[in-house]
Amino acid sequence: MSKQLSINNREYQQQLVSELLKQAKAKGASQAQVVMHSNQGLDINVRNKDVETIEHVKDKAIGITVYYGQRKGKATTTDITPAALQQTVEKACKIADYTQDDDYAGLADAAVMAYDYPQLDLYYPWHIAPEEAIQLALDCEAQAMAQDKRITNSEGANISSTESVIVYGNSHGFIGDYQYSRASMTCSLIASLQGNMQRGYDYTLAVDANDLINVSELAKSTAKRTVERLGARPVKSCKVPVLFSTDVAYGLFNHFAKAVSGSSQYRRSSFLLESLDEPVFAPHITIKEDPFMAKAIASSPFDFEGVKVTPRTVVEAGVLRGYFLNSYSARKLGMQTTGHAGGMHNLLVSNSDKRFEELLKTMDKGLLVTEMMGQGINMVTGDYSRGAAGFWVEKGEIQYPVEEITIAGNLKDMYQQIVAIANDVDKKHAIQTGSVLIEQMSIAGK
């Protein structure tokens, strides 16, 4: 085990995982698993025509979990020398000596391992040279600054490229791996008008750099987002319809995913407790999950326990059809794992095939939310209260920018009061949804 860990040396990585599992077994572990995650890439930041940082990323981490019956021990390391790896195995075994029996602890069952997992379309390494990345970032910033005279400063532009590989193995005899890539460009600006300053930013993210929006598009959208915030003011407190733009709408469904996760269910800390086969959304809402989508951010051939994953319908016509369970939470609930150790896989929220502008017309008068602040969400009760910024809408047209307000409601009510979802789906997130119109929420302003 003296070779250097390489992103593309997959055979060696599997051998390394296999050797660590053998070491754990030799020390008396009844079960063991090893997860290895390695990354390499480039990160460039420029600001006001100067290069601020150039970072070459190359890191790795190995986590080793052992079970002695129902006692668990876990240790991690970033040092892959033979001596360090041996010490990590010994530490994991030693930790297990001090833990108590847990009737629900252990690997996922051998019968649900992903022995024949598919090879997914997730790996498109972007071999961009540092000089080229710097010029791309400088061009983006310069074009964005030139869009409007009211743009007075820059918070910088960023270019990032990352390649990663995950290798997982356990004592059931399962060893699997997959590679994925990420490419992104980000731009952030400051605009000023009569003493009022506003910040705006935009970014593009993709598995394949060829799918990023181009520099000119990013520069224009960043500048537009920045200057349209000038003159923002609060509105009077009221109850009105609220339209969550696609930039923030995915957060509504992220709260849902947390509420129906196995840990929230067995801890009884969810506002959607025991809601399986109950209506939780408006009846026109369906949410599907697809772990095998090509070039999607949250695709995966298996979960972090080696469990096979499958496409499924999570919400059908508003009715909850499935939780997000790993093997531990499944045992606690007397259910079967759904392959969600490590999180969800590409949630696809249905839409009404209406354009964003049509939802503005449907809303007529209300608040368009484009930015959220704070963490005012009670996951036990569903109470929702967060700082927000956006635009006031009347007669289906944007009137002026809004800031220094709070929007409030209850997530259970908000889900049932979804009037429509636009077709402007944002594919940058694990949750893909368009803008979401909710029938009514409370606005706290001046």
pLDDT tens for residues 48-77?
Answer: 999 999 999 899 999 999 999 999 999 999
Host domain of residue 417: 232-446
Cα angle 149, 152, 157; round to 5: 110
Residue 8 has pLDDT above 80, yes or no: no
Same domain flag for 212 and 343:
no
The pLDDT tens digits for 271-297 are 999 999 999 999 999 999 999 999 999
Same domain flag for 183 and 309:
no
Report how far residue 335's alpha carbon sits from residue 112's, in angstroms, rounded to the nearest whole number.
13
Which of 189-193, 194-198, 224-228, 336-340 has the least mean pLDDT?
A: 194-198
Same domain flag for 220 and 282:
no
Same domain flag for 253 and 368:
yes
85 by DSSP, 3-state: which?
A: helix
Report how far residue 57's alpha carbon sits from residue 39's, in angstroms, rounded to the nearest whole number.
7
Residues 390, 401 contacting (CB under 8 angstroms): yes
1 inside domain:
no
Same domain flag for 198 and 247:
no
**Residues whose CB falls within 8 Å of the CB of residue 200, separated by 6 or more in sequence, listed in order:** 188, 189, 191, 222, 223, 224, 225, 226, 227, 228, 229
Residue 2 has pLDDT above 70, yes or no: no
Percent of the chain with pLDDT over 70: 98
24 inside domain:
yes
Residue 154 has pLDDT above 50, yes or no: yes
DSSP 26-69: HTT-SEEEEEEEEEEEEEEEEETTEEEEEEEEEEEEEEEEEEET
The pLDDT tens digits for 83-106 are 999 999 999 999 999 999 999 999
Q: Give the number of domains in the chain.
A: 2
Same domain flag for 212 and 251:
no
Q: Spell out a b/e string for 226-257, using b for 16 or more CB atoms within 10 Å of the CB, else e.
A: bbbbbebebbeeeebbbbbbbbbbbbbbebbb
The pLDDT tens digits for 404-440 are 999 999 999 999 999 999 999 989 999 999 999 999 9
Report how far residue 431's alpha carbon sits from residue 377's, in angstroms, rounded to the nearest whole number.
19
* Pair of tokens at residue 375: 């963490």
Which pLDDT score is estimated for 446?
81
Amino acid at 234: P
Same domain flag for 372 and 418:
yes
- Give me the mean pLDDT over the 228-256 stretch: 96
Residue 332 has pLDDT above 60, yes or no: yes
38 by DSSP, 3-state: which?
A: strand
327 by DSSP, 3-state: which?
A: helix
Last residue in a domain, options 203, 226, 249: 226
Report how far residue 248's alpha carbon sits from residue 270's, in angstroms, rounded to the nearest whole number.
22
Nearest to 420 by CA among 440, 434, 430, 407: 434
Residues 345, 300 contacting (CB under 8 angstroms): yes
Same domain flag for 236 and 215:
no
Task: State the greatest distance between any 2 C-alpha atoms of the chain, in Å, as a whole number.
Answer: 73
420 inside domain:
yes
Residues 407, 436 contacting (CB under 8 angstroms): no
Residues 239, 443 contacting (CB under 8 angstroms): yes
165 by DSSP, 3-state: which?
A: strand
Last residue in a domain, options 186, 209, 226: 226
269 inside domain:
yes
2 inside domain:
no
pTM: 0.92
Same domain flag for 46 and 187:
yes
Alpha-carbon distances of 237 from 247, 403, 408, 444, rounded to whole Å: 24, 12, 11, 4
Which pLDDT score is estimated for 4?
43
Which pLDDT score is estimated for 195?
83
Last residue in a domain, options 209, 226, 243: 226
CATH number of the domain where residue 54 is located: 3.30.2290.10
Which pLDDT score is estimated for 5?
44
330 inside domain:
yes
**Residue 302 Cα to chain centre, angstroms:** 17
Nearest to 37 by CA among 68, 5, 84: 5
164 by DSSP, 3-state: which?
A: strand
Average pLDDT of the chain?
A: 95
Confidence of residue 107 (pLDDT cuts 50, 70, 90): very high
Same domain flag for 362 and 439:
yes
Confidence of residue 363 (pLDDT cuts 50, 70, 90): very high
Confidence of residue 3 (pLDDT cuts 50, 70, 90): very low
293 inside domain:
yes
Which pLDDT score is estimated for 6?
52
60 inside domain:
yes
